[in-house]
Amino acid sequence: MVQNSLGVNAVIFDIGNTLVPTTDFVYKAIVEAFTSNGLETPQFKEMYNISGRSKRHVFPPKVYADYEKVMRDNVYLLKPFEGSDRTIQALKKLGYKICSFTAFPKSVVNAMFKAFGWKMPFLSSDDVEEARPSPMGILKSAEMIGNTPSECVAVGDTIGDVLSAKAAGAHAIAVTTGLFSHDELQRGAPDVVISKIEELLQILK
């Protein structure tokens, strides 16, 4: 039985900028999707407003479909953060349940997991009706692995990740490998803020 200061036995990972650096990857897909549809491309600074949110709830349907295809076709360009694989495997060996809830489309997640050799249950933006900071994704993730939210810790890189976890009654750990600083993430009142994914092991060992 796992033991830690948070009293959890399961970890719900975000993917983009939590386990895998995706800022440039996502923005390039946005640029290509908008350009191919003859639309003005959003400025990079607007990424802060939609980071961690499903683009299905933000983009026009045709733009979203093209955005999904561009990402799916270019997954081979991605590599996980150093330490992501090691952290996932170490947590599994310690007895933690592992899953993911991500704003990426299901087809993109499947392509990522195949490329990285990752095997874990996940929920994508295709599986939930409400985007972060709604608690729906965390609640469904906990249910998927047979846990109550309070037995789970959600790990993510955005304020929305933190707020959705807290609203669901789960614990929240924020990581500063995305677009948000330590101070910005603290505004969501996570249990802990870490600077890289490997530090999770120090908290959950």
| Whether residue 127 has pLDDT greater than 80 | yes
* Distance (Å, whole) CA 179 – CA 174: 12
What residues are paired with 123 via a beta bridge? 101
Q: Report the pLDDT averaged over residues 166-193.
A: 97
77 neighbors 99 (Cβ within 8 angstroms): no
Q: What pLDDT score does 176 carry?
A: 98
Q: What pLDDT score does 181 carry?
A: 96
φ, ψ for residue 168 (rounded to 5)? -80, -10
Q: Report the pLDDT averaged over residues 68-82.
A: 97
* Distance (Å, whole) CA 10 – CA 32: 37
Band of pLDDT at residue 52, cut at 50, 70 and 90: confident
Q: What pLDDT score does 44 carry?
A: 84
